[in-house]
Structure 1
Amino acid sequence: MSVRIAAEIFKAYDIRGIVDETLTEDAVYHIGLAIAARARALGVSDIAIGRDGRLSGPRLLARLAAALQDGGLNVVDVGMVATPMLYYAAHTLTQGSGVMLTGSHNPPQYNGLKMMLAGTTLSGDGIQELHQAIVAGVTPVTTCGSLRSADVSTAYRERITSDIKLARPMNIVIDAGNGVAGAYAGDVYRALGCSVTELFCDVDGTFPNHHPDPAKPANLQDLIQALQDTDAEIGLAFDGDGDRLGVVTKDGNIIWPDRQLMLYAADVLARQPQVKIIYDVKCTRLLAPWIREHGGEPIISRTGHSLIKAAMKEHEAALAGEMSGHTFFKERWFGFDDGMYTGARLLEILSQSADASSVLNALPEALSTPELNISMDNEGDNHRIIAQLQANAQFPNAENIIDIDGLRVEYASGFGLIRASNTTPVLVLRFEAETETALAAIQAEFKHVLQQVGLNDLPF
């Protein structure tokens, strides 16, 4: 029998909706049945599941577990964990298969599912096919699977500490924003020999202190203040499900993920020359020449954690990163995005210097804007406008235009980017240049193009 389910929760990278409105317990059950059917077709028999700290997590996870069992899979429930810990469980306890119940950094009323089957993270068409299968009707199988619980926290921590060795003890502050990473990150870094000051590490799905999104400067102000008030030398911040990292220096500078990636790239290339390193279209144009100078091959990619993972497999890349804070180490790790492991790799590098902040502050930097958003009235309007711009927009002063994900327009002295968000109905823009004059010129050209498609209320 066919099922009605909100189509808008099936996003490009995951499934995400408002609990009890678009993402109901019944919806989670039918999604679980569809996942199980897909898994069985891939030869998967065992699947790991976990949840973040959201208040809706326990009841939704119970429905997910029931559906996966009814779909014939043996379920390994690892409980309340960070998303990378669920990925770790999928790699070590199953055939590379797992479902994480998480709303990531969305507001408290949201929840969702990130899915990996047979080592591949579902995205795009794969997620839409789940929706189509649900609408067509997916039924339970006659032989149900089993359910068991597992605790992966010790094994996960020991796997990190067996890989990472600090050259000296470090004094750090971590801010989990009351997200699920707070339950584990402090123990990971103390096990590495760090002295750790914890901010908002008690897991609270109402997020009472600040939003758990280190991509927004406002959410890093408590961390900046703590570095001023203590002897700590570096600050690490995590998003709601622990797969993204934010970094702040002792003097309060935010080291955005594209600059962090420079440091990781130089480190990896020192051991593995000539490997491929992937970055997304939002990253600084200083990154590609940096990678080449250090002996690597830079590859630009579409934005999105699942799309980056697919690109890593396609190109056999050793490292990847995107501006939002997802970093993916294949060298010495599993290739999934992991804020806690990325923080450990950062500390390993910084511990080799007596002044950690100076290492970070010395990384190349250009003038740039934060991510700018233009909200749309309706779902899909952003994609329609991008298609229109890709077909008709003229940028007479551009040297190169990359259209794999919106339009990244590169100039002699900078770049401008406009792309459609795949998670919300907004257009995303970012600008970078060598000088204020060049930045203003690039923005003026973009303003002219956007006004031609009827966008006049612009955030720049």
Structure 2
Amino acid sequence: MKIVKTINSEIFRSYDLRGVVDIDLNADVMYTLGRAYATFLSERRIKESTIGRDNRLTGEEYSKAFIQGMNDGGINTIDIGLSLSQIVYFSSYYFQIKGSVMISASHNPKNFNGLKLGVGYSDTMITEEIQHLRQIVEIGQYSEGKGTNRSEDIFSAYKTDILKRFSLKKKWKIVVEGCNTGSGVFYPTIFRDAGCEVIEQNCIPDGSFPLGVPDPTEIKVLERLAKRIKQEKADIGFAYDTDGDRMSVVDENGSIIWMDSIVALFAQDVLDLLP
């Protein structure tokens, strides 16, 4: 792998990096971005980073390239493999390190990929920091070193941490629509261990996304989830995107519970904790 001199500036967005595979992104671009992120972290005296990825077809290749870039830039890495964004955020607390990387293009089509980059605990890059990363690439002066890489599976620790925070008063019957993403690996396990009966739908990961764009807010996704809920006489259903941070909810009648109602429920919980 080699450093590339120019990268399409349009992939540097407000809260993440996202581009088209083989047009904006390839292994050399990801290696270069790894070198740039290593430089960014080194400027802040951060020496370690975790890294996870979704199940896109380019995910494993891009992850290896980005890790190599960070290692060559002097950053030690912990590869947590197939993951979700929230598990990557959790990894910072678990390992007590501020660097974190999620290789994902969220709910975008299969020919996209991208990066979410951490700068602290539950703190990801925003516009100013992402533009600084772009400037590092443009200047082309990178930190150097001999970082190491190791692999760790932290899903069990994440699941334990989640499950200790609540208990269910009944055994819910749940449909999980995985949209053929990594979310279909993790969420059914969490729900089952919480005591739910889980019906899995499209939970086998397939980075070609044979059913279309992995966006849980798409009407066709909601329709097939609602249909299965009524068939199974389930209590509720959830659909997720590739990195698990976008969700749709359908009730027992097949009706969509819109996000403003869900946010209101979350707000009630937050206000109970922080009045």
CA distance in 2, matches of 1:2, 1:58: 20
The separation in 1 between residues aligned to 2:206 and 2:227, in whole angstroms, is 22
Aligned residue pair count: 272
Identity of aligned residues (%): 35
Match for residue 131 of structure 2? 128
The alpha-carbon deviation at position 3 of structure 1 amounts to 1.2
Q: Return the match for 1:72 from 68, 71, 74.
A: 74
Can you list the C-alpha shifts for 1:274-326, whole angstroms capped at 9, x where unaligned?
Answer: xxxxxxxxxxxxxxxxxxxxxxxxxxxxxxxxxxxxxxxxxxxxxxxxxxxxx
TM-superposed CA distance for 1:152, in Å, is 0.8
Q: CA deviation at 1:11?
A: 1.1
For residue 449 of structure 1, what is the aligned residue in structure 2? none
Partner SS for 1:246: strand
- Equivalent in the alignment of 1:256: 258
1:202 match: secondary structure:
coil
Corresponding position of 2:112: 110
Change (3 A) 1:268 1:131: closer
2:104 is the alignment partner of 1:96: no
Check conservation: 2:102, 2:116, Cα contact below 8 A: yes
Give the structure-1-normalised TM-score: 0.57
In the alignment, the residues of structure 2 paired with residue 176 and residue 20 of structure 1 have an alpha-carbon distance, to the nearest angstrom, of 26
In structure 1, give the amino acid aligned to 2:119: L
CA distance in 2, matches of 1:268, 1:169: 25
> Aligned partners of 1:267 and 1:4: how far apart in 2?
46
In the alignment, the residues of structure 2 paired with residue 14 and residue 218 of structure 1 have an alpha-carbon distance, to the nearest angstrom, of 27
User: How far did residue 27 of structure 1 move?
Assistant: 1.1
1:301-320 pair list within 5 angstroms: none
Greater Cα offset, 200-209 or 1-10: 1-10
Does 2:214 correspond to 1:212? yes
Task: In structure 1, list runs of 5 or more residues that go unmatched.
Answer: 274-460
Kindly provide the amino acid, as one letter, of the partner of residue 131 in structure 1: R
Query: Which residue matches 1:246?
Result: 248
Give the gaps of 5 or more residues in structure 2: none
Deviation, structure 1 residue 140 = 4.7
CA distance in 2, matches of 1:37, 1:187: 37
Question: What's the offset of the Cα at 1:2?
Answer: 7.9
The match for 2:172 is 170
| CA displacement at 1:259 relative to structure 2 | 1.0
Structure 1 CA distance, aligned partners of 2:268 and 2:9?
Answer: 43
1:321-360 residue pairs with structure 2 within 5 A? none
Counterpart position of 2:41: 39
In 2 relative to 1, CA 78–2 (structure 1 residues): closer, same or farther, beyond 3 Å? closer
- Which residue is equivalent to 1:28? 30
Match of 1:163, SS state, is coil
Give, as a single letter, the amino acid of the residue that structure 1 aligns with 2:130.
I
> CA separation in 1, counterparts of 2:150 and 2:115?
20
Q: Give 3-state SS (helix, strand or coil) of 2:164's partner.
A: helix
Q: TM-score, normalised by structure 2?
A: 0.95
Asked which structure has the greater CA Rg, the reply is 1
User: In 2, distance between residues paired with 1:39 and 1:194?
Assistant: 41
Q: Which amino acid aligns with 1:203?
A: P
Measure the CA separation in 2 of the matches of 1:176 and 1:98: 24
Confirm or deny that 1:228 pairs with 2:230: yes
Residues 1:154 and 2:156 aligned together = yes
d(CA) in 2 for partners of 1:269, 1:11: 32
Moved more, 106-115 or 81-90: 81-90
Which string of whole-angstrom CA distances, capped at 9 and with x for unpartnered residues, describes residues 105-158 of structure 1?
A: 1111110000002233102121111111101103351x3111100001100111
Which residue of 187, 190, 207 corresponds with 1:188? Answer: 190
Runs ≥4 residues deviating over 6 A: none
Higher relative contact order (CA 8 A, sep 6+): 2
- Aligned letter for 1:127? I
